[in-house]
Amino acid sequence: MSLLRVENLGKSFGGLHVTNDVSLSLQAGERLALIGPNGAGKTTLVNQISGFLNSDRGHIYLNGRDITLWPSYRRVNSGLVRTFQITKLAPEIPVIDQISLAIHQREGTVGNMWRDKRSFTAVTDEALHLLDSLQLTPVSREIPANMAYGDQRLVEVALALALRPKVLLLDEPMAGVPKSEGQLVLNALERLPSDLGVVIIEHDMDLVFRFAHRILVLANGSVLAQGTPKEIRENEVVRAVYLGKGVQ
């Protein structure tokens, strides 16, 4: 049984079909990349899957349960977590405190946070361990406003992982990241838990072909092609529409 399954999903705004009859599946531990031209419907699809946008048609299943009508918070509580294309960190709150808050949210202990945070050693230890796994220990006490943008993107991934997702939806994790910091993000993505199912939207084709097990190509809101990186790289239609003839 697929960890995540999307069947014939559709969303229209007036006469514009932004997603049109889109289907996909994701297994535990699989890395699936969504690629396509700007305006292809990628972010709209992730918004539908994560519950930030209601679908007009189709169904979404998580671990075999129909979650199509679930609000986004219920999907998060059931293991479906996303990041955003634009950084949404609190700029003046230290990183360790933001990760700890996410853990408290997961554990339902937010209401107890008036207590001295030293009484939550297990939460702090987990937050520090998570930051260390993404090589963010040096910035654990920093505020995002003072951090390199690549590190900020990694903190967003850490926040998502603090919720212990089964499925992680990454919306352009390399967006805005300078090339000098890009390898940090790629290295962190390659260290994600092996049993975590990941769907990633990304325009950086080097990352896509290095990271993804399968690739789904969207164009004009519909599925143009899907397959292994090798199959997509060799697909003449995809090369003509999106990748370009120079892709090797």
pTM, rounded to two decimals? 0.89
pLDDT at 68 over 60: yes
> What does the pLDDT look like over 55-64, one tens digit per residue?
999 999 999 9
> What does the pLDDT look like over 3-57, one tens digit per residue?
999 999 999 998 889 999 999 999 999 999 999 988 899 999 999 999 999 999 9
Q: Which domain holds residue 106?
A: 4-243
Report if residue 57 sits inside a domain: yes
* % of the chain exceeding 90 in pLDDT: 69
At 22, which CATH number?
Answer: 3.40.50.300
Q: Residue 158 and residue 133: Cα distance in Å, rounded?
A: 9
Name the domain count of the chain: 1
Confidence bin at 246 (pLDDT 50/70/90): very low
Q: How far is CA 105 from CA 102, 111, 147, 201, in A?
A: 5, 9, 24, 26
Cβ distance 17 to 219 under 8 Å?
Answer: no
Report if residue 248 sits inside a domain: no
Give the DSSP H/E element, type plus range, for residue 127: helix 121-133
Strand order in the sheet with 16-26: 16-26, 4-13, 57-62, 65-66
Report if residue 180 sits inside a domain: yes
> What does the pLDDT look like over 159-213, one tens digit per residue?
999 999 999 999 988 888 888 788 888 888 888 999 999 999 998 888 899 999 9
pLDDT at 227 over 90: yes
Report if residue 98 sits inside a domain: yes
